[in-house]
Chain A
């Protein structure tokens, strides 16, 4: 089965980004070009320090690229906006608000009418199975519950693309597996566009339509893997295993470069 996804929604071409450091310019991203189609689930993998998070920040509009273009629906990205909500690794939920208020916050900013806000909040709370925790404060929730709230907060804004920056990294393995499964279920239901940054290849292959592998510094697109496995996928299926192995092999080469870099004297 092939994926008949919509037209290109997010298009990156020739994106470059460098940071000044004490030892001169650090090329974080070099000539990044790829696209994400409407309703597509794309995973971005690469060794740490390859600029995955920087790239996500550029797409989110939190930082500006030095050159190249990032187009969302044909329009250049200019500053952050609710059409590109980010789910951060640490959740970034507001501790002085209840779960419900956290989800409501962005809706209020978007000037959505109260009745509709209530409906949206309820709908997405239900989707993450936390409707009984609507009035809890964030510190009363477990790590996994917090990330679920962060996902609901992002989804409720119905962004054009949901950006996820290693959202399950701070969780233990069991919780992580649970959340990956929950995310898959949600996505299969609402079919929104997702760009998901992770360093876990198995997770990427299980979730994604395509996996974009970035190289170590400067981050370039090393290869884009189309994951042609039927859904729902079995995480233990030998075919999936094979795809994972293929990507991991290339990833390891990049990780080795990064390790070599780290051991080199400054």
Chain B
């Protein structure tokens, strides 16, 4: 006997989405049930309903939107600087062997360095302002991008270079036409890594440097003993992460993997 085909083929994106949505809906329902029954202490862990209510309340306040705007402004400026400088440094190192031999270990170290450690220095150098936070964001994410760019360029298959050179390519044609595009998939991975470093660093330093953006909302929640507000801001942070990761990088990665033929045929 033949089985009836499910309306959603097992591997389709829609099928995966439906499974995920059902899973998270179940988790939230369970959570709500545990909260309503009094099993979870509402003072420490708010119910989903409570969090939603807080989000609704916050969204009516101008200061809430101003906080989101100012955090997004700082991440935009910080990440842009980080991408520009990081790409340049990563690329520049491959051109100057001496610097590559000396600086790449330093950059690797910097990448692993906890970026929050830049906060005290930034406050002393710049004072309590946007510049300090942006500085920390740049230093927290730039090195990851330059290390990935540097490695991406070094990992370009030699065969591509050989082929390009026998066709007479050097200088601009070699870099813009072959080396850079060949490195793109790995560079994008570096940009994505840099983004997640930048975002974490931003929120971390905003919490330390009280009174800034989303960090301020966290601090207010803590002072007012309002766990629902802390959870609500967590939701905002997570939504931004997911939007950028899946919405932007996910799309770019998919496009590049397809175009570069990196997808494994199933």
Give the contact stretch, choosing among A18-26, A88-96, A242-250: A88-96
Question: Which A residues between 71 and 104 are near B, CB-CB below 8 angstroms?
Answer: 79-82, 84-86, 88, 90, 92-97
A233 within 8 A of B: no
- Interface contact B168-A62, CB-CB below 8 Å: no
B166 and A82 contact, CB distance less than 8 A: yes
In the complex, the answer to whether B168 meets A80 with C-beta atoms within 8 Å is: yes
Query: Which chain A residues (211-234) contact chain B, with CB distance < 8 Å?
Result: none
Q: Is the CB of B159 within 8 A of A94?
A: no
The 7 nearest A-B residue pairs measured at CB: A139-B261, A106-B167, A92-B163, A82-B168, A80-B165, A96-B181, A95-B261
Known: A92-B163, A157-B167. 7 other contacts (CB 8 A): A80-B166, A96-B184, A105-B169, A105-B177, A106-B167, A106-B168, A153-B167
Do the beta carbons of A96 and B163 come within 8 Å of each other? Answer: no
| A138: contacting residue among B165, B167, B177, B261, CB under 8 A | B261
A97 and B159 CA atoms in complex are apart in Å by 16
Contact B260 A109 (CB under 8 A): no
Partner of B162, one of A86, A97, A157: A86
A137 interface hit (Cβ, 8 Å)? yes
Chain B 164-191 per-residue mask, 1 if CB under 8 angstroms from chain A, else 0: 1111110001000110011010000000
Asked if B261 and A137 sit within 8 Å, CB to CB, the answer is yes
Q: Are A106 and B169 in contact (CB under 8 A)?
A: yes
With A and B bound together, what is the CA distance between A88 and B259 in angstroms? 22
Task: Report the minimal beta-carbon distance from B189 to chain A, rounded to whole angstroms.
Answer: 16
Expressed in whole angstroms, the Cα–Cα distance for A86 and B164 within the complex equals 10
CA distance A140 to B159 in the complex (A): 20
Residues of A near B184 (CB, < 8 A) are 96
Check B163 against A88 for contact (C-beta < 8 Å): yes
Interface of A (DSSP majority class): loop
- Chain B, residues 136-158, CB within 8 Å of chain A (1/0): the string is 00000000000000000000000
The reply on B160 being an interface residue by CB < 8 A is: yes
Cα-based distance from A139 to B182 in the complex (angstroms): 14
A residues contacting the other copy or chain, number (CB 8 A)? 30
Q: List 5 A-B contacts (CB under 8 A).
A: A92-B163, A97-B181, A105-B164, A106-B169, A109-B167
A140 to B261, CA, bound (A): 8
Most buried by B among A81, A93, A96: A96
Q: How far is the CA of A108 from the CA of B163 in the complex (A)?
A: 15
Within 8 A of B (CB), among A27-75: 60-62
Cα–Cα distance between A94 and B173 once the two chains are bound (Å): 13
Q: Is the CB of A105 within 8 A of B159?
A: no
* Residues of chain B contacted by A84 (CB below 8 angstroms): 166
Minimum Cβ distance to chain A for residue B183 (Å)? 10
Q: Is A110 an interface residue (CB 8 A)?
A: yes
Mask, B241-266, CB within 8 Å of A = 1, is: 00000000000000000011100000
* Residue in chain A with minimal CB distance to B174: A109
B20 to chain A, nearest CB (A): 29
Chain A residue with Cβ nearest B162: A62
Q: Contact check: which of B160, B162, B165, B166 meets A94 at CB < 8 Å?
A: B160
Give every chain A residue within 8 A of B261 (Cβ-Cβ): 95, 137-140
Q: Pick the contact of A88 from B159, B177, B181 — CB < 8 Å? A: B159
Query: Is A85 within 8 A of B178, CB to CB?
Result: no
How does the 8 Å CB contact mask read for B66-92 relative to A, with 1 for contact and 0 for none? Answer: 000000000000000000000000000
Residue on B nearest A156 in the bound complex, by CB: B167
Verify A85–B160 contact, CB threshold 8 A. Answer: no
Complex CA gap A82/B169 in Å reads: 9
- What is the bound-complex CA distance between A84 and B261, given in angstroms? 29
Q: Which A residues are in CB contact (< 8 Å) with B167? A: 82, 85, 105-106, 109, 153, 157
Given that A92-B159, A96-B259, A139-B261 are known contacts, is A85 also in contact with B166, CB under 8 Å in the complex?
yes
B169 lies within 8 A of A60 (CB) = no
CB contacts under 8 Å to A, within B200-251, are none
Choose among B166, B167, B169, B261 the residue with the greatest number of A CB atoms under 10 Å from its CB: B166
Shortest Cβ distance from B261 into A: residue: A139
Q: In the complex, how many angstroms separate the beta carbon of B147 from the nearest chain A beta carbon?
A: 23
Bound complex: CA A80 to CA B169 (Å)? 9
